[in-house]
């Protein structure tokens, strides 16, 4: 089939590679977010999907909005049979959805109808789910509500960050997306409507949402820290300044007042509403990321000081 692939970040690359490598399909173009400023010089850079397409000599389309007339004209001229989507990050109006013969098929990183929305993996980690997965579905106007073609599942490991889990799902999801495209071409796949029960939503996580609240139980602090790693990154305040925090580790045998810091020889503990957590890596303003013990020695924490 003639495919126009839509995606933007690195998590979409395994799927794009699988489709490019398939002898059954022809990726005639990719649609990705416009080049964005990056680094100290704020130079414009291609998205990871756009850069991979460039490497393979594939046309790259970067509309600011996916309903722009010029973009639609080019999309129609390409005559795609199907448009696979992985983490594109732009709204698709109905006039755009109507262009390809078999529609647009999205790879979404949850077992639908659970965790529709922008941050399904983060929601799964924060919620303490034991099992998550990925789903392929036909895109419709309602958010992530289209009929499902296929599902793969993945165990959420005890110390998974969102980054860890998403990396694994991007690989298994690429296989699922390729088999879905194959099945649509063969006519062997029938999309099944999502059940009305079990619908949950996972909104995009803003920086303010990633602030750790040490007045909550240790399990909640741990899950949130892992859920927002690597993006947007956990943080709290110490001595009136923002302190970036990596994942923490619950410590069952130590209790401290919420937010109080205890510096030991090999670990730095912070109290929560239940038991303490041990800090991993930290990054103070203007400093490099470092082990919490190195940071604590440098700032010379006094007895009773708190992180909030």
Helix, strand, coil tally for the chain in percent (to 5): 30, 25, 45
Q: Does 3 belong to an annotated binding site?
A: no
State how far the Cα of 212 lies from the Cα of 125, in Å rounded to an integer: 15
Residues 5, 11, 15, 21: is their CA dihedral positive or negative? positive
DSSP state of 210: G
In this structure, what token pair is assigned to residue 145? Answer: 């509500």
No. of helices (H) and no. of strands (E), the chain:
8, 17
The region that residue 238 occupies, defined by phi over 0 for left and psi between -120 and 50 for alpha, beta otherwise, is beta
Residue pair 82/105 in contact (Cβ under 8 Å)? The answer is: yes
Q: Does 181 belong to an annotated binding site?
A: no
Q: Does 111 belong to an annotated binding site?
A: yes
State how far the Cα of 49 lies from the Cα of 150, in Å rounded to an integer: 23
Residues 118, 159, 284, 255: is their CA dihedral positive or negative? positive
In this structure, what token pair is assigned to residue 14? Answer: 């395994």
Strand order across the 148-155 sheet: 59-61, 26-31, 2-7, 83-86, 104-108, 131-138, 148-155
Q: Does 255 belong to an annotated binding site?
A: no
**Could you report how far apart the first and last alpha carbons of the chain are, in Å?**
55
Is 240 exposed, middle or buried (CB count within 10 Å of its CB: 0-12, 13-18, 19+)?
Answer: exposed
Place of tokens 């109808």: 113
DSSP state of 306: B
Place of tokens 């173009």: 29
Which residues sit in the known binding site for (6S)-5,6,7,8-tetrahydrofolate?
110-113
Which residues sit in the known binding site?
110-113
């Amino acid at each position: 089939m003639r495919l126009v692939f839509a995606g933007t970040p690195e998590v979409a690359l395994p799927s794009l590679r699988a489709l490019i490598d398939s002898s059954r399909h022809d990726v005639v173009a990719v649609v990705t977010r416009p080049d964005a400023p990056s680094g100290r010089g704020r130079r414009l850079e291609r998205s990871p999907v756009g850069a991979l397409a460039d490497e393979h000599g594939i046309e790259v389309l970067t509309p600011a909005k996916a309903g722009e007339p010029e973009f639609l004209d080019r999309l129609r001229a390409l005559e795609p049979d199907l448009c696979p989507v992985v983490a594109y990050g732009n709204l698709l109006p109905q006039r755009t959805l109507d262009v390809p013969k078999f529609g647009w098929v999205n790879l979404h990183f949850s077992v639908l109808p659970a965790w529709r929305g922008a941050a399904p993996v983060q929601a799964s980690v924060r919620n303490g789910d034991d099992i998550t997965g990925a789903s392929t579905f036909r895109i419709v106007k309602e958010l992530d509500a289209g009929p499902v073609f296929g599902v793969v599942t993945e165990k959420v490991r005890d110390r998974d960050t969102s980054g860890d889990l998403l990396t694994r799902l991007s690989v298994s999801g690429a296989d699922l997306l390729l088999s879905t495209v194959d099945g649509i071409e063969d006519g062997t796949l029938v999309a099944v409507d999502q059940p009305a029960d079990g619908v949950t939503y996972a909104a995009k996580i803003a920086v303010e949402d990633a602030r750790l609240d040490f007045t909550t139980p240790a399990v909640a602090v741990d899950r949130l820290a892992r859920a927002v790693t690597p993006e947007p990154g956990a943080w709290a305040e110490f001595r009136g300044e923002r302190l970036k925090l990596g994942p923490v580790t619950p410590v069952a045998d130590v209790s401290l007042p919420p937010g109080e810091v205890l510096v030991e020889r090999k670990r730095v503990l912070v109290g929560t509403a239940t038991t303490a957590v041990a800090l991993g890596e930290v990054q103070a303003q203007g400093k490099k990321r470092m082990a919490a013990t190195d940071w604590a020695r440098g700032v010379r924490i006094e007895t009773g000081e708190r992180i909030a």
